[in-house]
């Protein structure tokens, strides 16, 4: 059920194309700060309720990141595994053309599940504006996701959390759940900062070595054998089941893959002092509250993993990868510190502090616009 409140959603558009069988929709949640920003996901089960929740998350994320973007998201109902690339491209074209009345004025698209650089190229060309989406190929002014903007941001959020607790990163151990585009870069940067990588996971399981894992060797194994579980450097290496990463004896746990990783069944097993959410929705707000009461510092997803949308903004304004890294570092450090300071002063969990900051920023702009009418 889509719930309406003072923030939005402002518009929900449902579009069809008989020729391609395209059936899609876009939820533009809030545009007080700028055009709604959010990716296009293509799955057989995507629906308006799912897209609305994601659009609202983007509203909060863009506001907290200090970007002139609002929140939005879109979906196309299709199974990419059951159609040809040509058919997929035709659907993307039809979707882009159908959204011309709102894109890019009120909606700026991006890649999401089953869409990537190629689809953004198709979308932008069909729309007739390079500003209609981000995540485009390099030759169209895109900033490649492979540069690791999200992981770079999660790394800086982690450093702020460590500093907030008065700890020394060089004396801490960490585990990374997920060794994909986010987790891999977090592991790289934290290892480079002197922290000890104890464990990393992928879809096949967890590799764990209490004495430490060599990041460069782990990366080589992952690239050559498609899984971190084949890493065997040192006698202390053991392979565990994926969910066992939650209860490992580490100082920092970075989530970087699946949603609902931490559940009611395993929340009591957590030994980490800090959890940094590189993935989206790795636990419920109720579980965050439980961990907060236990004295575990949890950096929320839309605070820690905003590096991707910051990178999108740099692409949107025609910036370079160098500009991107500079802006991600500056904004993530500033915003994470602000959230933790507010949480500490108010005695609330970081998510509540972050939501308060994000919503206040939006409401202030909405009030100004209302007064100027």
Q: Are residues 300 and 223 in the same domain?
A: yes
According to the model, what pLDDT value does residue 247 have?
Answer: 96
According to the model, what pLDDT value does residue 369 have?
Answer: 86
Tokens of 24: 């899609």
Residue numbers of the chain with a pLDDT score lower than 70: none
CATH number at residue 116: 3.40.50.10860
Boundary-marking domain end, from 136, 164, 183:
136
Boundary-marking domain end, from 103, 136, 169:
136
According to the model, what pLDDT value does residue 26 have?
Answer: 98
According to the model, what pLDDT value does residue 146 have?
Answer: 83
Boundary-marking domain end, from 108, 136, 164:
136
The yes-or-no answer on residue 73 being catalytic is yes
Instruction: Give the total number of structural domains in the chain.
Output: 2
372 in a structural domain: no
Round to whole Å and give the CA distance between 205 and 201.
Answer: 6
According to the model, what pLDDT value does residue 301 have?
Answer: 94
Write the pLDDT tens digit of every residue in 251-282. Answer: 999 999 988 999 999 999 999 999 999 998 89
Give the predicted TM-score (pTM) of the model: 0.93
Q: Are residues 194 and 102 in the same domain?
A: no
98 in a structural domain: yes
According to the model, what pLDDT value does residue 342 have?
Answer: 97
Q: Which of 37, 73, 93, 136 does the annotation list as catalytic?
A: 73
Which domain covers residue 158, as residue numbers?
149-358
Tokens of 306: 């905003």
How far, in Å, are 6, 70, 173, 370, 371 from residue 366 at the CA level? 10, 12, 44, 6, 9
According to the model, what pLDDT value does residue 78 have?
Answer: 97
End-to-end CA gap in the chain? 32
Tokens of 50: 């799912």
Tokens of 48: 């308006």
Q: Are residues 128 and 176 in the same domain?
A: no
Round to whole Å and give the CA distance between 245 and 258.
Answer: 12
With H, G, I as helix, E, B as strand and everything else as coil, classify residue 211: coil
């Amino acid at each position: 059920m889509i719930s309406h409140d003072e923030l939005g959603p402002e518009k929900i558009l449902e579009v069809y194309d008989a020729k391609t069988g395209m059936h899609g929709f876009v939820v533009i949640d809030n545009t007080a700060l700028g055009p709604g920003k959010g990716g296009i996901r293509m799955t057989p089960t995507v629906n308006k309720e799912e897209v609305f929740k994601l659009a609202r998350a983007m509203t909060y994320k863009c506001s907290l990141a200090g970007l002139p973007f609002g929140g939005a998201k879109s979906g196309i109902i299709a199974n990419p595994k059951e159609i040809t690339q040509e058919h997929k491209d035709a659907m993307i074209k039809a979707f882009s053309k159908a959204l011309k009345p709102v894109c890019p004025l009120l909606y700026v698209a991006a890649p999401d599940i089953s869409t990537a650089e190629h689809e953004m190229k198709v979308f932008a060309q069909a729309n007739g504006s390079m500003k209609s989406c981000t995540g485009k190929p390099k030759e169209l002014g895109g900033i490649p996701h492979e540069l690791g903007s999200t992981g770079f941001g999660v790394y800086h959020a982690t450093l702020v959390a460590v500093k907030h607790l008065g700890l020394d990163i060089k004396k801490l151990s960490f585990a990374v759940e997920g060794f994909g585009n986010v987790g891999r870069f977090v592991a790289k940067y934290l290892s480079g900062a002197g922290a000890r990588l104890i464990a990393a996971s992928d879809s096949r399981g967890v590799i764990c070595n209490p004495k430490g894992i060599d990041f460069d060797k782990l990366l080589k194994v992952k690239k050559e054998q498609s899984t971190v579980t084949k890493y065997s450097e040192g006698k202390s290496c053991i392979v565990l089941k994926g969910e066992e990463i939650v209860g490992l004896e580490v100082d920092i746990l970075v989530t970087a893959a699946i949603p609902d990783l931490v559940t009611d069944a395993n929340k009591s097993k957590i030994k980490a002092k800090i959890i940094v959410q590189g993935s989206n929705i790795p636990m419920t707000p109720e579980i965050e509250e439980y961990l907060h009461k236990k004295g575990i510092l949890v950096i929320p997803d839309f605070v820690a993993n905003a590096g991707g949308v910051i990178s999108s903004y740099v692409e949107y304004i025609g910036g370079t990868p160098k500009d991107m890294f500079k802006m991600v570092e500056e904004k993530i450090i500033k915003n994470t510190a602000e959230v933790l300071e507010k949480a500490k002063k108010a005695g609330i969990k970081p998510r509540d502090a972050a939501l308060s900051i994000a919503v206040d920023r939006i409401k202030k702009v909405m009030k100004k616009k209302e007064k100027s009418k």
